[in-house]
Structure 1
Amino acid sequence: MKLTIKDRNYQLEFINETLKELDLTYIHPLLASTTKYAISTGGKRLRPLISILCTEMLGGDYLETRNMFLALELIHNATLVHDDIIDEDLYRRGEPSLFSEHGIKKAVLTGDALLSMGLMHASKTGKPEVVGWLAETSLKMVQGITVQNQYKRRLMSVEEYLYMNYLKSGSLFEAAAALGGIAGSDKPEDVKNLAHFGKYFGNAYQIRDDIIDNFTPKSSDNSPNNDLLNGDSSLLLIYAVNSDLIQEADKVKLLSIYRGETTDLDVDFVRRVYEETGALQKAIEKMEEFASLAGAILK
């Protein structure tokens, strides 16, 4: 299989217009308002885009994917709303997070509504396997967040991190690609191959996010090293702490930040340690490894 993207504009326009015109008249006005807030704050729409592209790659019509990608995006936003509550994140996509703007109670209910609406749109596809994929994926993501919180301020191994990474992030990319396969082909092998592509792509994408989080310039809504301050493991941290090149004083200081023993965060110090220990390079190599595995499937 080979995937070429000639022009993504019409797909993204279709996705954004469909979300903008989403019928919310059948739910309570208060929920409709907060639901609209949750899905209107932008985002890359990468998961529904992958689903559409996979459908088109197999000869399917992107117009037939409407309910499928709505289900994906609604469920994705449900997890973001709940994740912000758990992590107490005040911003999402450059805007105040739902819970910081409307309170925890409304945010919890909105996340539940988004999840329910997602499964409802999945059922509208008329394909039981779509509902099955998304129900199973929703459970995987919840388990991923559970594992992340289980290891809050406790260092993971590389294997534990990669498993959590797959559950929390990679599984939804896996589902997005698989659903594109279901819409575009009646061959189980196509669905299986695309699911593997999505899984590898999603794992690479999350590692990339880790790197960006630690090396992004500070802005009003996003500060570098959010994962480190929140006590969440990243591949960079795991590689650095376990490196033979790390100085003992640097290791103690880095772990004291991660464990919440100090809030004295020196961004330049963290970046220096990640670079000097080879953690940054190893994380990039792992990201590229997953990206290569994903790309090989589409050749």
Structure 2
Amino acid sequence: MPGEPRLSTSLSFLAPLQDDIRAVEGMMLAQMEGHHADLRNALDLILKSGGKRIRTSLTLLSGRTFGADPQRLKTLAAAIELLHTATLVHDDLIDGSLLRRGLPTLNSQWSPGATVLTGDFLFARAAVLAADTESIPVIRQFAHVLGVIVNGEITQLFASRCKASRDDYYERIYAKTASLFETSTWSAAVIGGAEAPAVEAMRNYGYQVGMAFQIIDDILDFTSDAAQMGKPVGSDLRQGLVTLPCLYYLEDHTADPDVQPLFQGRCLSDEQLSRVVASIRESHAIERSYQEAERFVHLGLESLRSVPPSPERSALEELADYIVARKL
């Protein structure tokens, strides 16, 4: 496929974090204790379908860079991961997704009402964990980012459907992904007592790699197969979301009759969708999208280099490289 990066997709550099990551997952599960048994079962199901704990790793590494208290740092990581988990529960319901990474989603097994309430409960318990960090700035940021994420979802539902706009796209992926990445790195630096310039450097690093992460997700939506992703190829476009690969394709193929409705803010027919998805997969739009993700990562690494060298900083650099090299 044009433009695929050649970097290693190994996560071996995160091996030193595995005990802490397991502890974070244990803290997340502990939030279900004393509540309805099905809530624990639901979180068990969600954790099994979870990814590689990128946000947890970002939080732990960022805090360790500044010598953050280990318990407060793990509490922060659990709060952020639980918040992310809650957004996945609601996203899967809104999108009608029955699978996530090949495993059944919660909404494929529960009623919409039960699924919404479970997501709400996870939001509430995430807020409790954020409060347990005993950092007013972190609690304030946690509340702020929750509003950013929800506002982004509302905008996506009511204003972004079949809208071909670069500005709209960047605003959407910031709300969806990069806002929580920058919250992870910023909050961890705050917990670690970093000076203001270092806190800002970490915030910018998180923002940049978060933007890159979502762009790669949007590329994989076209380049992966349905079995890998657990959803149809080009599923975002099929739902009316115009992502970066499609935007680049539109720039280079203004005369393609199949994409004309998008220039007018209208959605594509099923026949047009199939042809456009196939065309995007074979176009230079994929390569250009990789280059844009790499540009964001480069900016993030530049910001990170203002932080003193350490094993944790090296791992954050490798994590940034992994983000543009991953296949899933």
Is TM more than 0.5 here? yes
**Secondary structure of the residue that 2:153 maps to in structure 1?**
helix
Deviation of the 1:131 alpha carbon: 1.0
> Residue 208 of structure 2 aligns with which residue?
200
> Residue 166 of structure 1 aligns with which residue?
174
Give the one of 273, 294, 304 matched to 1:288: 294
> Residue 16 of structure 2 aligns with which residue?
10
**Secondary structure of the residue that 1:242 maps to in structure 2?**
helix
Q: Which amino acid aligns with 2:73?
A: T
Deviation of the 1:37 alpha carbon: 2.4
Question: Is 1:19 paired with 2:25?
Answer: yes
Give the one of 55, 58, 61 matched to 1:53: 61
Deviation of the 1:146 alpha carbon: 1.6
Confirm or deny: 8 A CA contact 2:245 2:280 kept in the other structure.
Answer: no
State how far apart, in whole Å, the 1-side matches of 2:261 and 2:163 are. Answer: 14
Extract unaligned runs of 5+ from structure 1.
none
Question: Is 1:127 paired with 2:141?
Answer: no
State how far apart, in whole Å, the 2-side matches of 1:295 and 1:53 are. Answer: 14
> Residue 36 of structure 1 aligns with which residue?
44
- Deviation digits for residues 195-241 of structure 1, max 9, x if unmatched? 11111110011001100110002317232111111111201112212
State how far apart, in whole Å, the 2-side matches of 1:7 and 1:117 are. Answer: 30
> Residue 240 of structure 1 aligns with which residue?
249
> Residue 310 of structure 2 aligns with which residue?
none
**Secondary structure of the residue that 1:8 maps to in structure 2?**
helix
Given the superposition, is the C-alpha separation of residues 298 and 6 from structure 1 closer, same or farther in structure 2, using an over 3 Å criterion?
farther
Q: Which amino acid aligns with 1:272?
A: S
Question: Is 1:210 paired with 2:210?
Answer: no
Question: Is 1:228 paired with 2:227?
Answer: no
Aligned-residue RMSD, C-alpha? 2.4
Question: Is 1:113 paired with 2:121?
Answer: yes
Q: Which amino acid aligns with 1:236?
A: P
State how far apart, in whole Å, the 1-side matches of 2:57 and 2:124 are. Answer: 21
Confirm or deny: 8 A CA contact 1:50 1:177 kept in the other structure.
Answer: yes
Normalised TM-score (structure 2): 0.81
* Range moving further from structure 2, 73-82 or 54-63: 54-63
**Secondary structure of the residue that 1:224 maps to in structure 2?**
coil
Question: Is 1:139 paired with 2:147?
Answer: yes
Confirm or deny: 8 A CA contact 1:12 1:49 kept in the other structure.
Answer: no
State how far apart, in whole Å, the 2-side matches of 1:33 and 1:14 are. Answer: 22
State how far apart, in whole Å, the 2-side matches of 1:44 and 1:6 are. Answer: 12
State how far apart, in whole Å, the 1-side matches of 2:194 and 2:301 are. Answer: 22
Q: Which amino acid aligns with 1:38?
A: I
How many pairs does the alignment contain? 291
> Residue 82 of structure 2 aligns with which residue?
74
Q: Which amino acid aligns with 1:283?
A: S
Identity of aligned residues (%): 27
Deviation of the 1:275 alpha carbon: 4.3
State how far apart, in whole Å, the 1-side matches of 2:134 and 2:69 are. Answer: 16
Confirm or deny: 8 A CA contact 1:38 1:77 kept in the other structure.
Answer: yes
State how far apart, in whole Å, the 2-side matches of 1:36 and 1:263 are. Answer: 39
Which of structures 1 and 2 has the larger relative contact order (alpha carbons within 8 angstroms, sep 6+)?
Answer: 2
State how far apart, in whole Å, the 1-side matches of 2:261 and 2:152 are. Answer: 28
Deviation of the 1:264 alpha carbon: 6.7
Deviation of the 1:61 alpha carbon: 4.7
State how far apart, in whole Å, the 1-side matches of 2:130 and 2:174 are. Answer: 22
- Deviation digits for residues 17-61 of structure 1, max 9, x if unmatched? 431463222222232332332233231110011011111122335
State how far apart, in whole Å, the 2-side matches of 1:20 and 1:178 are. Answer: 23
State how far apart, in whole Å, the 1-side matches of 2:271 and 2:82 are. Answer: 35
